Amino acid sequence: MSEAGGAVRIGVYICHCGANIAATVDVKSLAASAATMPNVVVWREYKYLCSDSGQDLIRQDIPNQRLNRIVVASCSPHLHEQTFRAAVAAAGLNPFYLQMVNIREHISWVHENRMEATSKAQDLLRAAVRRVARHEALERSRIPIHPDVLVVGGGIAGIHAALTLANAGKHVYLVERQPTIGGHMAQFDKTFPTLDCAACILTPKMSAVKAHQKITLWTYSEVVQVDGYVGSYQVTVKRRTRYVREDLCTGCLECLEACLYQEGRFTDEFNAGLASRKPIYIPFPQAVPQVPVIDPEACIQFKSGKCKKTCIDACGDRHAISFQLEEKTEEIQVGSIIVATGFQVFDARRAPYYGYGVYPDVYTALEVERLVNASGPTAGEVVLRDGRIPKTVGIVHCVGSRDENTNRWCSRVCCMYSLKLAHLIKERTGAEVFNFYIDIRTPGKGFEEFYQKLLNEKVHFIRGRVAEVTDWALDPTEEGKLILRVEDTLAGLVRRIPVDMVVLSVGLEPRSDAQDVCRMFNMTCSGEGFFTERHPKLAPVNTFADGVFLAGCCQGPKDIPDTVAQAGAAAAEALVLIDSGSIETEPNTAYTDEDVCSGCKTCIPLCPYHAITFLEQEKKARINQATCKGCGTCVAACPSGSIRQHLFEDEQIFEEIEGILTYA
Amino acid sequence: MPEVFEPKIVAFFCNWCTYLAADLAGTSRIKHAPNARVIRVMCSGRVDPQFVLDAFAKGADGVLIGGCHPGDCHYQEGNYKALRRVALLRRLLKQMGIEEERFRLEWISAAEGERVKTVINDMVEKLRALGPRVQPVRKEVA
Amino acid sequence: MKPKVAFYWCASCGGCEEAVVDLDEELLGVADAVDIVFWPVALDFKEKDVAAMPDGSILASFINGAIRNSHQQEMAELLRAKSLVVVAFGICAQLGGIPGLANLSDAKGILAEVYRDGVTPARRYSENGYSLSLPEFFDTVVALDRVIQVDYYLPGCPPTPNLIRDAVHALLAPELPPKGAVLAPDHALCEQCPRKDSRPEKLLVKEFVRPHQVVADQQTCLLAQGLVCLGPGTRAGCNALCIRGNMPCTGCFGPTSRVRDYGAKALSAIASVIESNDESQIERALEAVPDPVGTFYRYSLPSSMLGRRRME
């Protein structure tokens, strides 16, 4: 086994990455310059180093050339550091004798001038060659994985992930903020493009969640704190009270009937505000759990203390209702977490030119979903606010989307749901339906066919972005109508289309508290607030927080099949962790040289993980290797240089600086 | 032909935000000035003031520290620790006659590939205006 | 024949000479054990006497003070040639010390500041066939080891008697310490601080105060009282003399062997205790550190990574 003993012998391997690197960086001259660098005994360039044959080069050179340090100049260490470490280890050398140089993402893909790119590559290579000479053999430690999983969010993503894990025998905590699981999907009537009934496919899964022995379902609850790390997360869940005990309630709903309010008087959130509910309610008939909620903002007892409390009477000796119940906090321990917190729809008021909130018959698509839904406020009848059935309907695509002033992205689902709503509206009312679109995007299985079907159904499509919706009639045919002003870009003229009803196809956006959620789980998110996957292609459900996975629209807009697929993938990733039982950690921890530590305590408050303890007896600081996460803040702060960090030793970084600034 | 001064920037990028942003700039092919040389650290909090001074002492024209946005640190608050150090270090560098444009701390999240370009290009421009800090003996790349 | 030793001073205040005298009667013991062959401040030997000695005939030369002019450099070189061992005595010789703060300016600036509109000394002056010359006044002050090879370092402003005693014994012992050694403990001063236990584990300071602004409590960690005490970053060996006098450590023993730039680390330690994440609050907290270079490089500017201020 060749180890670091004796003289440092470095092998330098430069990857062409096809033309990705070689087209911009002169790999031949880079290899030639490697030959002049200290301790370098082998230098090679190769088409694809990450390929088997590329790795073989390294694997063979280590014993044959007695190499004890390896430098690979290729792509980002975030992509292939593990690959090359494994190759080094396979040859019997400690994997931490490897250093990577990022000459692709940081050089060839971002620079054009070949000479400058090559010069930069030489600097970074020299830095790595100097650095790697200072590397030491390190051992990874393993941390055990707690087998329980937390799933945050009870929409279709969370439901599917939870069921997948539970069916594999794992215990899942499913935490949902709303009183019921089901998420946005529960609000839909039909799903595109197959037009199967959302409830028919969703509610059995919701019931399965409730019934599953392996799932602890906490609705009306929120994760408020997450501590720990992969394998061992401590999670605090705040469970709001519904004033109805879930364990005692049988779901008979007699209390709803008994409420002093004969009719609903308060905004029904589930019906997008199109209906009213009582102070005691369940969001919708198939809600899971089938346990009512009392809204203290609306309930007479909470507001005046002078209610006859007929609900309690109706509950009788089941004693499920109590006004004294209080919010609780649960502390749980899990090994991995699936974040499936979903999306919110674009607030159409932010596009005031469409008159939402001004003209009663301007609806958002989500409202229309409720209108067309058989269990919705109108039992599936598409009617205007005054009860009339619309004869003409205009559907405005891309509301809030693909717009510099609001959201820049395409929300992916709006074209298809607009087509679906057009179909349903036409089916229910026989109305003439106009779609106003920028582009019709139908890149999914059966999507284009569905579009063709709509064309055959004589739904109108006008290509153009609607400028405004107005009720200002210019001629008698427009009286009493909403007029859509639009440039028909195919006909090349500005048109005014009078309609009875306007549907705004609002885009999907991150929830307003996405940034907070992102911080709580130590993930990263894009500027707009969608959570970032670890790698867009190769790790689409992983995050930069180990053991935290993503599913559904919190990662970006997507339709139901994609969401379910992603939820399955997230569950599979969690299963990999659980079934492997433990995970290897990066050995980049900080450690004190206790012989020379003066016990000045500078480091102690700097550690956010409380990994540094002050030994009262010895009067020294000690860093717990299991809880240290390797940020190195204490290392930079230690005034006497008595804290060091594996993999990021001061000497190694000084060598990099030296390497960068030494002119060849 | 008069040669354009190409300042050399030593950049310390945190592993989780700014280094990834630079990776993203790569995968998004966002072209920018080739003057920065990135040293990866796990957190901007790891940047010892000695590293900054050493880089200047060895001839860097500028030093750039890139970390996660306040509140977004992968290690909760390492970037705040960096901020405190940088505030004091900045005062010291000023006394040592190092112009403030030469030393920057920037928050660049993993999603801000475009910002890597903006910051580096802007810094290069400012350093060009300042001229070389020391006149290192440069040899042309073979 | 007793071993020969020499003492010399370069750019220094004379405090290091005092420190030798501070050995009190022990000095007599030292004097018994060795022959002092050169000590301008106390004994009447001349430069030419040293020049006349064979190379390597002095066992040890103790040189204090930084190198700030050409004569000091020449004397250092002379003593180097004559001595088997050269000890940088005191922090000025070791790291540049207080005179090293002159590196915030240069020769021209200093002479202009000192002589204002008066006559500036000329290097050479001739009149009536006689000529006088002055040593060259350098732009940059350097530590002793930048002009000659130094074998051992004795830190402090000045080195404390116990340290000097230990050093002399170490040099007379059959086995010499490793070359290049700093003859003082290699941990930070907090280790020796009588107030060590009073520093809270979670020390965070909202605002620093300067020594003249407060009467510090005599028992409590000075840093915990908001005073910029550099003990955490300073090599031990003085037994916390200043702190025992209720004054914060200003760092005259320099860094430990694990630190390359004293000021950078001391700065890091002080910045670490600021209790704020807000930029303007941090700036406010730092108002009590109006002179970072003078605070963190009081004794080590010439040996810092940057070494000197870059002049316009």
**Closest-CA distance of chain C to residue A40, Å:** 27
Identity (one letter) of the amino acid at A522?
A: N
Mean pLDDT score of chain A: 95
Task: Determine which of A42-56, A192-206, B71-85 has the lowest per-residue pLDDT on average.
Answer: B71-85
> Are B50 and C260 a contacting pair at CB < 8 A?
yes
Q: For residue C298, what pLDDT band results from cuts at 50, 70 and 90?
A: very high
Range B48-69 burial, b when 16+ CB lie within 10 A, else e: bbbbbbbbbbbbbbbbbbbbbb
Summarize pLDDT for C142-176 with one digit per residue, the tens: 999 999 999 999 999 999 988 998 888 888 888 99
Give the residue from A410, A431, A422 showing the smallest Cα distance to A453: A422
Task: Determine which of A42-46, A537-541, C117-121, C160-164 has the lowest per-residue pLDDT on average.
Answer: C117-121
Contact C258, C288 (CB under 8 A): no
pLDDT at A609 (0 to 100): 85
Distance from C-alpha of C186 to C-alpha of C168, rounded to nearest angstrom: 18
- For A226, counting Cβ atoms within 10 Å of its Cβ (0-12 exposed, 13-18 middle, 19+ buried), the class is buried
- For A211, counting Cβ atoms within 10 Å of its Cβ (0-12 exposed, 13-18 middle, 19+ buried), the class is exposed
Which member of A600, A614, A637 has the closest CB to residue C268? A637
pLDDT at A664 (0 to 100): 46
Best residue in A25, A79, A229, A657 for a mutation probing chain B (most B CBs within 10 Å): A657
Give the residue from A149, A247, A270 showing the smallest Cα distance to A199: A270
Two structure tokens written together for C182: 């700093």
Alpha helices in B8-112 (DSSP H): 18-27, 49-57, 78-95
Angle at A399 between CA A398 and CA A403, to 5 degrees: 75
Q: With DSSP H G I counted as helix, E B as strand and the rest as coil, what are the percentages for chain C, rounded to 5?
A: 40, 15, 45
Q: What's the DSSP call for residue C290?
A: S
Best residue in C190, C243, C268 for a mutation probing chain A (most A CBs within 10 Å): C190
Residues of B in contact with A645 (CB under 8 A): 46
Between A and B, how many residue pairs show a Cβ–Cβ distance under 8 A? 165
**Closest-CA distance of chain B to residue A244, Å:** 38
Q: For residue B15, what pLDDT band results from cuts at 50, 70 and 90?
A: very high
Please tell me if residue B50 touches chain A, with a CB cutoff of 8 Å. yes
Summarize pLDDT for A6-21 with one digit per residue, the tens: 899 999 999 999 999 9
Read off the pLDDT of each residue in C70-94 and give the average, rounded to a whole number: 97
Alpha helices in A624-664 (DSSP H): 633-637, 650-661
Best residue in B38, B77, B116, B124 for a mutation probing chain A (most A CBs within 10 Å): B38
Which member of B48, B83, B97 has the closest CB to residue C264? B48
Best residue in C270, C305, C309 for a mutation probing chain B (most B CBs within 10 Å): C305
Using CA atoms of A130, A133, A137, A142 in order, give the dihedral in degrees to the nearest 10: 10
Two structure tokens written together for A271: 């019906």
> Are A640 and C272 a contacting pair at CB < 8 A?
no
Look at residue A513 and give its three-state secondary structure. coil
Contact C57, C4 (CB under 8 A): yes
pLDDT at C203 (0 to 100): 87
Q: What are phi and psi of C295, to 5 degrees?
A: -80, -50
The full length of chain C comes to 312
Q: Which fold has domain C4-100+140-172?
A: Rossmann fold (3.40.50)
Read off the pLDDT of each residue in A45-49 and give the average, rounded to a whole number: 96
Give the residue from A119, A125, A122, A121 showing the smallest Cα distance to A99: A125
Using the structure block, give the residue that is written with the tokens 């971002």.
Answer: A110
Residues of A in contact with B58 (CB under 8 A): 657-658, 661-662
Distance from C-alpha of A519 to C-alpha of A522, rounded to nearest angstrom: 5
Q: What's the DSSP call for residue C57?
A: -
Q: What is the pTM of this model?
A: 0.84
Distance from C-alpha of B101 to C-alpha of B123, rounded to nearest angstrom: 7
Summarize pLDDT for C201-232 with one digit per residue, the tens: 888 888 899 999 999 999 999 999 999 999 99
pLDDT at B134 (0 to 100): 63
Distance from C-alpha of C75 to C-alpha of C38, rounded to nearest angstrom: 12
Distance from C-alpha of A103 to C-alpha of A20, rounded to nearest angstrom: 10
Summarize pLDDT for C15-58 with one digit per residue, the tens: 999 998 888 787 777 778 889 999 999 889 999 999 999 999 99
Contact A174, A154 (CB under 8 A): yes
Does residue A252 register a pLDDT over 80? Answer: yes
pLDDT at C28 (0 to 100): 78
Identity (one letter) of the amino acid at A349?
A: R
Number of H helices, E strands in chain C: 11, 9
**Closest-CA distance of chain C to residue B77, Å:** 9
Distance from C-alpha of B104 to C-alpha of C88, rounded to nearest angstrom: 38
Distance from C-alpha of C6 to C-alpha of C39, rounded to nearest angstrom: 6
The domain segmentation of chain C, as residue ranges, is 4-100+140-172, 106-133, 189-303
pLDDT at A626 (0 to 100): 83
Mean pLDDT score of chain B: 90
Spatial CB neighbours of A327, under 8 Å, sequence gap ≥ 6: A238, A239, A240, A241
**Closest-CA distance of chain B to residue C135, Å:** 27
pLDDT at C243 (0 to 100): 97
Q: What's the DSSP call for residue A108?
A: I
Contact A55, A61 (CB under 8 A): no
Please tell me if residue A642 touches chain C, with a CB cutoff of 8 Å. yes
pLDDT at A8 (0 to 100): 96
Inter-CA distances, A467 with A214, A355, A488, C178, Å = 53, 11, 11, 84
Look at residue B102 and give its three-state secondary structure. helix
Starting at the edge strand found earlier in the chain, the sheet holding A466-470 runs A466-470, A482-488, A493-499
Read off the pLDDT of each residue in B45-52 and give the average, rounded to a whole number: 97
Distance from C-alpha of A519 to C-alpha of B69, rounded to nearest angstrom: 11
Q: Higher confidence at residue A172 or residue C108?
A: A172
Summarize pLDDT for B61-97 with one digit per residue, the tens: 999 999 999 888 888 889 999 999 999 999 999 999 9
> Are C201 and A605 a contacting pair at CB < 8 A?
yes
Contact A239, A226 (CB under 8 A): no
Summarize pLDDT for A416-470 with one digit per residue, the tens: 999 999 999 999 999 999 999 999 999 999 999 999 999 999 999 999 999 999 9
Using the structure block, give the residue that is written with the tokens 């009081």.
Answer: C298
pLDDT at B137 (0 to 100): 36
Look at residue A651 and give its three-state secondary structure. helix
Give just the sign of the alpha carbon dihedral A253, A258, A261, A262: positive
Q: For residue B2, what pLDDT band results from cuts at 50, 70 and 90?
A: low
Does residue B135 register a pLDDT over 70? Answer: no
Distance from C-alpha of C165 to C-alpha of C155, rounded to nearest angstrom: 13
Q: What are phi and psi of B134, to 5 degrees?
A: -125, 160
- Distance between first and last Cα of chain A: 34
Contact B107, C279 (CB under 8 A): no
Read off the pLDDT of each residue in A509-524 and give the average, rounded to a whole number: 92
Spatial CB neighbours of B65, under 8 Å, sequence gap ≥ 6: B11, B12, B44, B47, B52, B82, B86, B104, B105, B106
Domains and CATH numbers, chain A: 10-141 (3.40.50.960), 254-318 (no CATH), 344-509 (3.50.50.60), 590-645 (3.30.70.20)
pLDDT at B142 (0 to 100): 30
Pairing of strands A172-175, A149-152: parallel
Give the residue from C196, C190, C146, C163 showing the smallest Cα distance to C89: C163
Pairing of strands C137-142, C67-69: antiparallel
Distance from C-alpha of A399 to C-alpha of A362, rounded to nearest angstrom: 12
Give the residue from A554, A457, A508 showing the smallest Cα distance to A195: A457
Nearest-by-CA chain C residue for B99:
C310
Read off the pLDDT of each residue in A61-87 and give the average, rounded to a whole number: 96
Two structure tokens written together for B108: 């660049």
Between B and C, how many residue pairs show a Cβ–Cβ distance under 8 A? 84
pLDDT at B1 (0 to 100): 47
Q: At what angle do helices A198-211 and A156-167 cross, to 10 degrees?
A: 50
Two structure tokens written together for A25: 């960086």
Summarize pLDDT for A341-369 with one digit per residue, the tens: 999 999 999 999 999 999 999 999 999 99
pLDDT at C26 (0 to 100): 78
Q: What's the DSSP call for residue A97?
A: G
Please tell me if residue C260 touches chain B, with a CB cutoff of 8 Å. yes
Using CA atoms of C308, C309, C311, C312 in order, give the dihedral in degrees to the nearest 10: 150
Does residue B141 register a pLDDT over 80? Answer: no
A190 Ramachandran zone, left/alpha/beta (phi>0; psi -120 to 50): beta
pLDDT at C123 (0 to 100): 86
Chain A contacts in chain B segment 58-87 (CB below 8 A): 58-60, 68, 71-72, 74-78, 81-82, 85
Inter-CA distances, C2 with A217, A288, C5, C26, C235, Å = 90, 98, 9, 17, 33
Domains and CATH numbers, chain B: 9-130 (3.40.50.960)
Inter-CA distances, A369 with A147, A272, A398, Å = 39, 9, 17
